[in-house]
Structure 1
């Protein structure tokens, strides 16, 4: 097998005058935007990348902890689906999409995707992405969020160049693969299947509902935030005992960030937890995917057929051919 290498994302270029800019819609499908200036900064920055940016009129709505009540957010989803912009980028995640899944007109959303709309986000957006896959509405993109990734000030660390470049390439249909450095032990692995997954907690919350796709022989990627390793292990075991993990050809772990060790751990860490699971599971459990609640994140097409290939510690996920 040839050594897997992924092309480095190109530096984003503003489209030429002959090329109409991609129409990018910002919206808030879940948690309230606590800092509106971050959304405005994101809109300005995305404009400098060559997108024609509009902000949904309800993007800054507030109802309890949500960006508007359920009816308001569901109406925004359908309104944007009907408008079918080129890119639909969520302002932030949080929580809220589970509350509206039963009310989504999936055929209406599917027409938007079939017409070329790329719906993008991660974290709570996992519920929408997996629902779209379960209801055959079409593939979406696991990728950045407007406020968290494009609305950061310089004091907050600014905008990550790799995240930005991957997003621009993906939205222009140019991103066909991503490469990363993972742990040793999987040299020679090569599998092909449906690429799917996202936030582990959200995925587990979909078990037993009609909104979880029944993917067999897939490549499942997972990430989470603020979850201690024992909670991550519990959720992974739940997926294993429900038959989800063993139905896959591979499971790829992304970032599991911002958890706090406990005095009771006594050597129980994220690394030892993963090692313990590997000894119990038959499916390959890989790690190192640059995706999740961290500054650097790639874009991944949820629902596309992909190939995962490993040589040494070099990992490559390809979906372009």
Structure 2
């Protein structure tokens, strides 16, 4: 059974960590000002000050930040500064009892997908696949809808995605419902064969990625197909695949052709075009929350990912 974390209210403290790569310092400063504008106080993780190659500190340092933020009773949400690389390195060492005993909002995307899957499947906690502080909120040209996604942390309201946000293409007609599961395609594929393998049975699977060529998308979708993940799913949401174009090969299948070969042929209700992922705007969705997708109406309706929401004033 999945559990909703408590909503935030004005004056709450949120913890900011970097469980993967280090953030851009200047963009993070801009993002922290945004959090203050929302009426939040901020506690910074120790690993944000460190760097170990492409990682924000060594594994034990990033793991310690995650544990400490969940244990700290003054911290009401744990927000990831950015993605990058490395969350899979700490997944097996996480003390999931700490998270289970201290349920709170957990927020991020991209490489954070590995942690969404691990946390949700090990604790039942609903987490948020949402725009990052450094790489999204810290941009000069951040879209207002990207910022508005953060209101989901305060408001216990149902979210409906329609073509008012972005054009949606029907891949396979039908209506499907189930709990949301998914995230970055590369990271979902990386979970296969591990203790954190993505479970799609009866769920609405959403996928997104960035900077992967069509042949790489093909390989990963084929992997998910052979692992039975499309067959198990109730429905499929194809989200943003930013800059996923041919580069190395002069002749290539298009991204649309690859999607047709795997998603459309899977025969499950499917829509394409959601602005979820490495895109602008970047819309947050609660992983593990119940959702209904109607391809004929081109709508996705998602229950609130938090409980006892406080209205943001």
Q: TM-score, normalised by structure 2?
A: 0.87
Partner of 1:86: 76
8 A contact 2:170–2:271 mirrored in 1? no
| Counterpart residue number, 1:309 | 294
1:151 corresponds, among 109, 119, 138, to: 138
Please give the secondary structure, in 2, of the residue aligned with 1:152.
Answer: coil
Aligned length: 293
Q: Summarize deviations over 1:205-260 as a string: whole Å, max 9, x none.
A: 01011112433111000101111122112211111111111000111111111234
> Secondary structure, in 3 states, of the residue corresponding to 1:138?
coil
Please list, as runs of the form range in 1=range in 2, the aligned pairs for 1:1-321 lying within 5 A after superposition.
20-33=10-23, 35-84=24-73, 85-113=75-103, 117-153=104-140, 157=141, 159-168=142-151, 170-181=152-163, 182-184=168-170, 186=172, 189-262=174-247, 264=249, 266=251, 268-278=253-263, 280-312=265-297, 314-320=298-304
Structure-2 separation of matches of 1:255 and 1:213: 20
Task: Please give the root-mean-square deviation of Cα atoms over the aligned residues, in Å.
Answer: 2.1
Structure 1 Cα separation of the partners of residues 183 and 245 of structure 2: 22
Q: In structure 2, what is the Cα distance between the partners aligned to 1:271 and 1:103?
A: 38
The alpha carbon displacement at 1:185 in A equals 5.5
Question: 1:42-97 CA distances to partner (integer Å, 9 max, x unpaired)?
Answer: 11121112222222233221111111100101111100010142221111000111
TM-score by length of 1: 0.85
| 1:141 to 1:151, Cα distance in 2 relative to 1, 3 A | same
Q: Unaligned regions of 5+ residues in structure 2, if any?
A: 1-7, 306-313
Contact 2:15 2:42 in 1 (8 A): yes
SS of 2:128 mapped into structure 1: strand
In structure 2, do the counterparts of structure 1 residues 231 and 40 end up closer, same or farther at CA, with 3 Å as the change threshold? same
Query: Cα 1:194–1:143, aligned 2, differ >3 Å: closer, same or farther?
Result: same
1:137 CA drift (Å): 4.4
Q: Which runs of 5+ in 1 are unaligned?
A: 1-14
